[in-house]
Structure 1
């Protein structure tokens, strides 16, 4: 899964290297700008978003690429880190955020052409400790201990998704119930670990707005909806107990999707759910919506599905070649952009 960092393999390799060589050659990816590569748009890309009419994709080793001609050509952005990136959100044409491994949070103020670091895993733990030590209440000690555990792990835990409502307010989510909120465009972050109904600290894979609410999805059938009045994410029961990798939807329906082709749809804020027959057995790894009725789902095997009725029914989109997809972004009703292990490509719909 996305959260694995293969620490045991890396540790074994490190032990096999002379200490002097490690000291001389080590460069922290959080302090190393992404290298320029002519193949950046053909490597692993995990997240897509639109910055106005510009397409922005984020991926491995801090690579961020963008296109101003509907995917015909791509340029590489200047990025302050070389950590692997997994998700991106642009609430406005100019302001965007990207997140990924090593607890990194990046911000762009120029439609994705350049990116600066706002937060990383070395600072997340101490930020949470300071916040929870200032809180009162019976559970304060519990959350201080949890924050100290994150702090002791350093930059080990990744952020796995990001969503902004506007250029000020947004959420970032990640491994082991890691969730933070900002109300000032990322200048400061407030931990929300104590504001989720997730007692097992399950991984949080997705956060998005749909059907007038904000939803978070995660492991073991976890779905939560934001109770804005209470300032909490409340758990919602769904019929499926496997992992949900993401959430999408229209103004009237929310769709959660994940393992083994599972997708479930609700039109009443999660009070009831109806299974969507997708016709696929592999994991659904990406979703996107455009307009009032069109919804797209993509799978880890490269299948692309399209709905014209708000996600109630889906049919396969014929493709010249099916490649594993980690992200999908609609370009109106004429085409979609797909990103994955072999880079980014545009799929016409007509």
Structure 2
């Protein structure tokens, strides 16, 4: 799942006060990420974790984030989102209108250019193929690993910011000003839905089943749906921090965001979770790494954290 354009400036200009942490070996730390790099996306498939940086680097771990290998895929790319496909292959979304795909050991990455959206924001891989959303209310779909693209556009001056497929056939695209679009036929057709009230701007969305899901947005807002995205209600986020990424860990929805916040859903509200050596800047990416949580951010931040069993008001 994907970091959105609204925090792009923060990603590129964040202070580098986080310590590099990747594995337990100093030589390996320096070979994995550099202090000037920002880890903007993380994706996991079992014990395999992929990270992408703003400087075109892909990091690969096959043991849930304990040891990493570094690959400079391109010196001109900037990876903002990533995804695993049902067949085990993976794709990285490059802000410069390119999708990079790889399979096997993730050492070779092939670029595929597209014209729309001109400013891509998020990527997902589904049984219906690769999907990219972004500016101009555009969704694009490729069923051949990026060799060709089909464009679906609502011709509005607004961007889609997140995409979630909740089943083999059902998907939801989230956009600016509360914009929603739905598919019930695996993306063959899309229809506008009733917008989320309050001009809600979605950072990320996470569904725990076909009906129940959460969407995080500006100013620490988190919304919940129990009818597959047709209607949304606000839930309490006691952290008050914007949550840039939502993900499942140990069967529980979690999120990361501003001020080094790690949060989880508890009693139908979002609460802060303590962890060792808390991060002082924002967390821009996170996934479940088996027993640990893998987090990424500015200042070459890439490490696993162990969350405590108890929640607290502020992890920093």
- The TM tier, using the shorter chain, reads 0.7 to 0.9
Indicate if the aligned counterparts of 1:248 and 1:287 stay in contact, CA closer than 8 A. yes
Q: Secondary structure, in 3 states, of the residue corresponding to 1:220?
A: helix
What is the CA–CA distance in structure 2 between the aligned matches of 1:104 and 1:235, rounded to whole Å?
29
Unaligned residue ranges in structure 1 (runs of 5+): 7-36, 126-149, 151-156
What is the CA–CA distance in structure 2 between the aligned matches of 1:78 and 1:65, rounded to whole Å?
9
In the other structure, the counterpart of 1:38 is 31
Q: Choose which of 237, 243, 266 in structure 1 pairs with 2:225.
A: 266
* Equivalent pairs, count: 278
Unaligned residue ranges in structure 2 (runs of 5+): 10-29, 309-316
Indicate if the aligned counterparts of 2:41 and 2:296 stay in contact, CA closer than 8 A. yes
The answer to whether structure 1 residue 249 and structure 2 residue 207 are counterparts is yes
Output one character per residue of 1:123-149: Cα deviation in whole Å (capped at 9) or x when no partner: x26xxxxxxxxxxxxxxxxxxxxxxxx
Output one character per residue of 1:46-67: Cα deviation in whole Å (capped at 9) or x when no partner: 1111144211011112111111
In the other structure, the counterpart of 1:294 is 252
In the other structure, the counterpart of 1:115 is 109
Higher strand share: 2
CA drift of 1:93 comes to 6.4
Over the aligned positions, Cα root-mean-square deviation in angstroms equals: 2.7
What is the CA–CA distance in structure 1 between the aligned matches of 2:191 and 2:298, rounded to whole Å?
32
Indicate if the aligned counterparts of 2:202 and 2:217 stay in contact, CA closer than 8 A. yes
Structure 1 or 2, whichever has the larger Rg, is: 1
CA drift of 1:2 comes to 2.7
The answer to whether structure 1 residue 337 and structure 2 residue 294 are counterparts is yes
The answer to whether structure 1 residue 279 and structure 2 residue 273 are counterparts is no
CA drift of 1:225 comes to 2.3
Q: Secondary structure, in 3 states, of the residue corresponding to 1:73?
A: coil
TM-score, with length taken from structure 1: 0.71
Q: Choose which of 164, 176, 179 in structure 1 pairs with 2:125.
A: 164
Indicate if the aligned counterparts of 2:239 and 2:271 stay in contact, CA closer than 8 A. no
Indicate if the aligned counterparts of 1:178 and 1:204 stay in contact, CA closer than 8 A. yes
Higher helix share: 1
Indicate if the aligned counterparts of 2:56 and 2:72 stay in contact, CA closer than 8 A. no
Output one character per residue of 1:94-131: Cα deviation in whole Å (capped at 9) or x when no partner: 311111211111100224322110225xxx26xxxxxx
TM-score, with length taken from structure 2: 0.78
In the other structure, the counterpart of 2:25 is none
CA drift of 1:235 comes to 2.6
